[in-house]
């Protein structure tokens, strides 16, 4: 996925200003595709220059006024092209896994505490996703848009479920390591 396509998706869902987009990224899209405020504003400029979005006309003077953007037909076509294109999965890169591998040769100092910290963070994220699921996807919301959005959320729930299970297992294994490993 790429940031321009995430922004086009968000703007097709609802025309927004840069500030509104950054807030939406912080609340929803950012769960699976993060971007800084600077990256979003920079990408809005590129998308506008490429003729994929436009700033909506403002009734007030531009100075200090938030510009709201909407997707143009060329932007919708680009998003449709990208959505239909095949992409291979990317390898997962996680510094924690690399640190565990490195611990095999340099020792495990500090890792158990960090595994516990990661477990706590993943448990919190899982609880947040489950709360969003209860709130936003009650039984009977089965329109196409709702089902596709729910699939994205389910991916987050399933990933957090995986990580909490894996971290619990890792901590059990850690407890069984001989003293010279720690």
Give the model confidence (pLDDT) of 129-163 as tens digits.
999 999 999 888 888 989 999 999 999 999 999 99
Closest among 49, 58, 46, 50 to 15, alpha carbons compared? 58
pLDDT computed for residue 60 by the predictor: 64
Beta-bridge partners for 55? 69
**Region 158-169 average pLDDT:** 97
Give the model confidence (pLDDT) of 59-107 as tens digits.
665 566 678 999 999 999 999 999 999 999 888 889 999 999 999 999 9
Q: Where are the domains of the chain?
A: 3-84, 95-181
Report residue 7's pLDDT band, with 50, 70 and 90 as the boundaries.
Answer: very high
Mode of pairing for the β-strands spanning 68-71 and 53-55: antiparallel
pLDDT computed for residue 139 by the predictor: 87
Q: Does domain 3-84 have CATH number 1.10.10.10?
A: yes
CB atoms within 10 A of CB 178: 6
Average pLDDT, the chain: 90
Q: At what angle do helices 3-13 and 37-49 cross, to 10 degrees?
A: 80
């Amino acid at each position: 996925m790429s940031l321009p396509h995430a922004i086009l998706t968000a703007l097709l869902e609802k025309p927004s200003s840069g500030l509104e987009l950054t807030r939406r990224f912080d609340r929803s899209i950012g769960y699976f595709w993060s971007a800084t405020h600077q990256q979003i504003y920079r990408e809005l400029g590129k998308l506008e220059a490429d003729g994929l979005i436009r700033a909506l006309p403002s009734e007030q003077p531009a100075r200090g006024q938030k510009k709201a953007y909407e997707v143009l037909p060329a932007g919708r076509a680009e998003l449709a092209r990208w959505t239909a294109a095949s992409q291979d999965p990317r390898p997962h890169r996680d510094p924690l896994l690399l640190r565990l591998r490195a611990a095999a040769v340099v020792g495990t100092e500090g890792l158990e505490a960090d595994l516990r910290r990661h477990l706590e963070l993943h448990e919190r994220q899982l609880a947040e996703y489950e709360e969003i699921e209860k709130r936003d996807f009650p039984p009977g919301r089965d329109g196409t848009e709702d089902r596709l959005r729910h699939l994205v959320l389910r991916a987050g729930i399933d990933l957090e479920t995986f990580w909490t299970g894996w971290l619990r297992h890792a901590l059990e294994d850690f407890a069984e390591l001989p003293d010279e490993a720690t």
